[in-house]
Amino acid sequence: MSPKVWIDGKLFEKDQARISVYDHGLLYGDGVFEGLRVYHGKIFEVEKHLDRLFGSARAIRLTPPHGRDELKTAMQETLRASGLTDCYIRLVLTRGVGYLGLNPNRCSGGSTIIIADTIDMYPREMYEKGMSIITATVIRNHPNSCSPRIKSLNYLNNILAKIEAADANVPEAVMLNHEGNVAECSADNIFIVRDGQLQTPGTADGILEGVTRNAILNLAKKLGINAIEKTLQRFDLYVAEECFLTGTAAEVVPVTRIDGRPIGAGVPGPITGKLTEAFSRLVRAG
């Protein structure tokens, strides 16, 4: 078993995969992507990921060079070649090869990259005991600039927040929006529990609407947990009884300290535990 990379119809070994230095995805972050999880050989929520991918592409006026069925076939081909059954897929669409200038109309018409590899976001201990995070000084992109709802290749906004987290010796950072309200973390959506109610920011707060986030909201409904989308401020995080993050790569990870302040009892809470167990059953049920 070894990672494989599919580029515009051809498979490559990880160390042999190449793109042009004139690709606008590299030069300008001109493209979109999705991260997908594979459990027991099945791609989790593939249709929802493709919905978001094609929505992001449309938002930046990029015509995907391959259709949905072609992409699903290509991902399966890459998985078979890799021999991996529990892994991570990175699906990337770029504007393609262009020139040293911004004009997208001079690009080649698009390029598709599919990577099948393993991924480990956080140490196992953090899933069991919880993690500490901080609030970043870098705010989330304004929705009228490059909308956070577009999963674009330009992740500098997120990376700057991630650098602040690393400087503080923690794995993640909460990002506020232009109004000072909670948006999301650098790579994950955020949830809190207050008075038994599950709360998370909505799309109007400047978030990327996560596939795992939506799965958790659906699971909460099935479990009879009251869950709402709500504008949150740092105050709400500080007085929360529980907190956790969600993401395709991260799955569900509890947060027990924010900006040095303990959350609740300082240990993962019962609602976090119920949803973590339910999500684990969901993804492994096939």
Please, which pLDDT band fits residue 256 given cuts at 50, 70 and 90?
Answer: very high
- Verify whether residue 14 is a known catalytic residue: no
Mean pLDDT of the region 231-243: 98
Q: Are residues 113 and 128 in the same domain?
A: no
Please, which pLDDT band fits residue 121 given cuts at 50, 70 and 90?
Answer: confident
What's the whole-number average pLDDT of the chain?
96
Spell out where the chain has E strands.
4-7, 10-13, 31-39, 42-43, 87-94, 111-117, 131-135, 172-176, 182-185, 189-194, 197-200, 227-229, 242-247, 251-258, 261-262
pLDDT score for 25: 97
pLDDT score for 46: 97
Query: Which residues on adjacent β-strands are paired with residue 115?
Result: 5, 90
H helix count then E strand count, the chain:
8, 15
Strands 182-185 and 172-176: antiparallel
Query: What total of structural domains would you count in the chain?
Result: 2
248, 211 contact by CB (below 8 A) = yes
- Phi-psi map region of 169: left, alpha, beta (phi>0 left; psi -120 to 50 alpha): left
Please, which pLDDT band fits residue 148 given cuts at 50, 70 and 90?
Answer: very high
Share of the chain above pLDDT 90, in %: 95
84, 116 contact by CB (below 8 A) = yes
Please, which pLDDT band fits residue 120 given cuts at 50, 70 and 90?
Answer: confident
pLDDT score for 1: 81
Mean pLDDT of the region 202-228: 97
**Whose structure tokens read 């929006």?**
177
Instruction: Give CA separation, 144 vs 132, 137, 141, 149, in Å.
Output: 31, 20, 8, 11
Give Dmax over CA atoms of the chain in angstroms.
57
Q: What is the pTM of this model?
A: 0.95
Q: Are residues 108 and 155 in the same domain?
A: no
Q: Are residues 177 and 90 in the same domain?
A: no
List, for residues 19-36, the tens digit of each pLDDT value.
999 999 999 999 999 999
Q: What 3-state DSSP class applies to 161?
A: helix
Q: Is residue 279 scored above 90 in pLDDT?
A: yes
pLDDT score for 210: 97
Q: Are residues 42 and 98 in the same domain?
A: yes
Give ∠ CA 101-59-219 in degrees, rounded to 5. 135
Query: Considering only CA atoms, which of 227, 235, 217 is closest in space to residue 195?
Result: 227
pLDDT score for 151: 97
Q: Are residues 98 and 136 in the same domain?
A: no
Mean pLDDT of the region 161-188: 98
- Lowest pLDDT segment from 192-196, 242-246, 281-285: 281-285
Q: Is residue 286 scored above 80 in pLDDT?
A: no
Q: Are residues 73 and 163 in the same domain?
A: no
Distance, CA of 5 to CA of 88 (rounded, Å)? 12
Distance, CA of 206 to CA of 258 (rounded, Å)? 20
Domain limits at 44?
4-117
Strands 242-247 and 227-229: unpaired
Q: Are residues 184 and 258 in the same domain?
A: yes
Rg of the chain (C-alpha set): 19
Q: Are residues 141 and 246 in the same domain?
A: yes
Catalytic residue among 4, 151, 162, 222: 151
Q: Are residues 134 and 93 in the same domain?
A: no
113, 238 contact by CB (below 8 A) = no
Q: Is residue 285 scored above 90 in pLDDT?
A: no
> Which parts of 2-122 fold into alpha helices (H)?
24-28, 46-59, 68-82
Domain boundary (59, 94, 117) is at: 117
Q: Are residues 199 and 113 in the same domain?
A: no
Backbone phi, psi, residue 100, to 5°: -80, 70
